[in-house]
């Protein structure tokens, strides 16, 4: 901030949305201050380059969803950043462990059929305009339900009881999910390399009572014509940033309805790949205690087993400390591969998004019955205050490219206002 007192725009939060907004506004000649609470950019897009002995670890986003339409695919191509331009063939899971034993092909196909039928029923209800808990429209008495409970939460961050059928049907998806070899977080950081950002500078309060908006930080205040708030819905719903006068009731209701669900990643490196498993295998585990874990086996040919926790399990382990998350994953692996696997672990890394005060979850999910409120988030709060971030995208929410595009949308709204006011 270095003594700055004024700017055309203050952007709060240097995740994919805030970075995109600041870059677009600067490219259009506007004077922008970008403030970030953490000591790094990227937010939920973060690769720890030395996270695992076997390679970099994506702590947050990992797959370029909608890859053929995703702007980061072009960045990866332009920068020579490797990615796997294939989605897993066939229906998941490709490998399945049930209560400590490996399932056979017939069991896997039965599970895949159940997944497909359940998601189809949820989508159909949403497409009929019904906004109800997904649990109401699926066969929850099926023996495959406990697995689906976790898999649904891995995709949408909430289990079927808390997934809105309408929100699910609204979320577009080309089905192309391409992982990035050196990490999606690293790719996004590279896309914005050199961006001017004030790190370690949390915004505490925004005063919107005067003719200009005043953004207050521990390093002083900045007055701006417009503010783009590119932080998570849960951060805003919890009022971690004081906004005075408070946000309008309809905006507060929308933020509360579209809070983040929960998901966490746990990477484990081994001394060597496990025999007979192949590479890039998408597996699911139902533990002896009945919890579901997504398992990526040997991605990019690495001796790695990456677990994906979701829903309430992720909420609890994602705020209990990384050791607890690792211990849970390690014990699940021991149940399947035998206790000898523990000695083969050469390193591990675990995310803690739910316990991160700057994020507070994984990605947004509208509460059943309230999916329509999401649309309010992409409209300006008032003439000068705009929301951005994945949750504000009408149909590509819960993704990094949706966040990116929401940042561009917020800048378009600022420019439209400035033109109307004769400022440009």
Ligand X SMILES: Cc1cc2nc3c(=O)[nH]c(=O)nc-3n(C[C@H](O)[C@H](O)[C@H](O)COP(=O)(O)OP(=O)(O)OC[C@H]3O[C@@H](n4cnc5c(N)ncnc54)[C@H](O)[C@@H]3O)c2cc1C
Contacting residues toward ligand X, per CB under 6 A: 12-18, 35-38, 43-45, 60-63, 65, 202-203, 230-232, 235, 241, 263-265, 351, 353, 358-359, 362-363, 389-390, 398-401, 403
* CB-based contact 22:237 (threshold 8 Å): no
Residue closer to ligand X, measured from CB, 23 or 241: 241
Residue closer to ligand X, measured from CB, 79 or 200: 200
Radius of gyration of the chain (CA): 22
Neighbours of 143 (CB within 10 A): 11
Q: How far from chain centre, in Å, is Cα 299?
A: 20
Residue 345: enclosing H or E segment and its boundaries?
strand 345-350
Report d(CA 95, CA 101) in Å as an integer: 11
CA atoms within 13 A on the CB side of 364: 37
Kindly give, in sequence order, each residue whose CB lies less than 8 Å from that of residue 375, ignoring residues fewer than 6 positions away.
394
Q: What is the DSSP letter of 138?
A: S
Residue closer to ligand X, measured from CB, 303 or 403: 403
Residue closer to ligand X, measured from CB, 57 or 337: 57
Task: State the minimum distance, in angstroms, from the CB of residue 149 to ligand X.
Answer: 18
Task: State the minimum distance, in angstroms, from the CB of residue 296 to ligand X.
Answer: 11
Please tell me the chain's helix, strand, coil percentages from 3-state DSSP, rounded to the nearest 5: 35, 25, 40
Residue closer to ligand X, measured from CB, 98 or 188: 188
Report d(CA 162, CA 381) in Å as an integer: 27
Q: What is the DSSP letter of 351?
A: -
- Residues making up the chain, counted from first to last: 424
Report d(CA 112, CA 385) in Å as an integer: 45
Residue closer to ligand X, measured from CB, 111 or 157: 157
Q: Tokens 């991605």 label which residue? A: 299
φ and ψ at 173, to 5 degrees? -160, 115
Residue closer to ligand X, measured from CB, 108 or 315: 315
Residue closer to ligand X, measured from CB, 125 or 203: 203
Residue closer to ligand X, measured from CB, 231 or 414: 231
Q: Is the dihedral of CA 357, 360, 363, 365 positive or negative?
A: negative
Task: State the minimum distance, in angstroms, from the CB of residue 371 to ligand X.
Answer: 17
Task: State the minimum distance, in angstroms, from the CB of residue 197 to ligand X.
Answer: 10
Task: State the minimum distance, in angstroms, from the CB of residue 104 to ligand X.
Answer: 29
Task: State the minimum distance, in angstroms, from the CB of residue 184 to ligand X.
Answer: 6
Coil vs helix vs strand at 296? strand
Report d(CA 13, CA 232) in Å as an integer: 9
Neighbours of 256 (CB within 10 A): 16
DSSP per residue over 376-398, as a string? GGGS-SSSSEEE-SGGGSSSSTT
* CB-based contact 62:166 (threshold 8 Å): no
Report d(CA 4, CA 235) in Å as an integer: 25
Residue closer to ligand X, measured from CB, 248 or 357: 357
């Amino acid at each position: 901030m270095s003594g700055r007192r004024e700017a055309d725009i203050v952007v709060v939060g240097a995740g994919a949305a805030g970075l995109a907004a600041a870059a677009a506004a600067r490219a259009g000649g506007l004077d922008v201050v970008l403030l970030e609470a953490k000591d790094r950019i990227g937010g939920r897009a973060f690769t720890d380059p030395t996270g695992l002995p076997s390679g970099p670890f994506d702590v947050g986003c990992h797959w370029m969803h909608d890859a053929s339409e995703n702007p980061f695919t072009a960045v990866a191509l332009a920068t020579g950043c490797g990615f796997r331009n294939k989605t897993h063939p066939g229906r998941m899971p490709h490998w399945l462990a049930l209560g400590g034993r490996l399932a056979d092909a017939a069991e896997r196909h039965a599970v895949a059929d159940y997944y497909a039928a359940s998601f189809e029923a949820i989508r159909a209800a949403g497409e009929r305009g019904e906004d109800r808990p997904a649990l109401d429209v699926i066969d929850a008495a099926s023996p495959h339900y406990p697995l689906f409970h976790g898999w649904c939460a891995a995709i949408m961050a909430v289990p079927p009881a808390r997934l809105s059928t309408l929100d699910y049907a609204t979320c577009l998806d080309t089905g192309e999910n391409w992982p990035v070899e050196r990490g999606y977080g690293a790719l996004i950081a590279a896309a914005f390399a050199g961006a001017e950002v004030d790190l370690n500078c949390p915004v505490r309060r925004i005063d919107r009572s005067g003719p200009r908006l005043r953004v207050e930080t521990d390093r002083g205040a900045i007055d701006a014509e417009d503010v783009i708030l590119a932080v998570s819905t849960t951060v805003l719903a919890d009022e971690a940033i004081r906004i005075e006068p408070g946000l309008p009731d309809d905006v507060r209701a929308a933020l509360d309805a579209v809070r983040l669900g929960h998901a966490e990643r746990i990477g484990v490196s081994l001394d060597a790949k496990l025999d007979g498993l192949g590479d890039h295998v998408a597996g699911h585990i139902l533990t002896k205690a009945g919890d579901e874990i997504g398992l990526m086996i040997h991605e990019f040919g690495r001796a790695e087993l990456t677990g994906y926790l979701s829903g309430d399990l992720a909420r609890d382990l994602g705020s209990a400390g990384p050791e607890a998350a690792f211990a849970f994953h390690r014990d699940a692996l021991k149940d399947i591969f035998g206790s000898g696997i523990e000695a083969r672990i050469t390193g591990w890394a675990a995310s803690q998004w739910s316990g991160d005060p700057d994020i507070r979850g994984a990605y947004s999910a509208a509460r059943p019955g309230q999916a329509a409120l999401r649309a309010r988030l992409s409209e300006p709060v008032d003439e000068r205050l705009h929301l951005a971030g994945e949750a504000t995208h009408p149909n590509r929410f819960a993704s990094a490219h949706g966040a990116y595009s929401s940042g561009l949308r917020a800048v378009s709204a600022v420019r439209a206002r400035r033109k109307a006011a004769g400022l440009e």
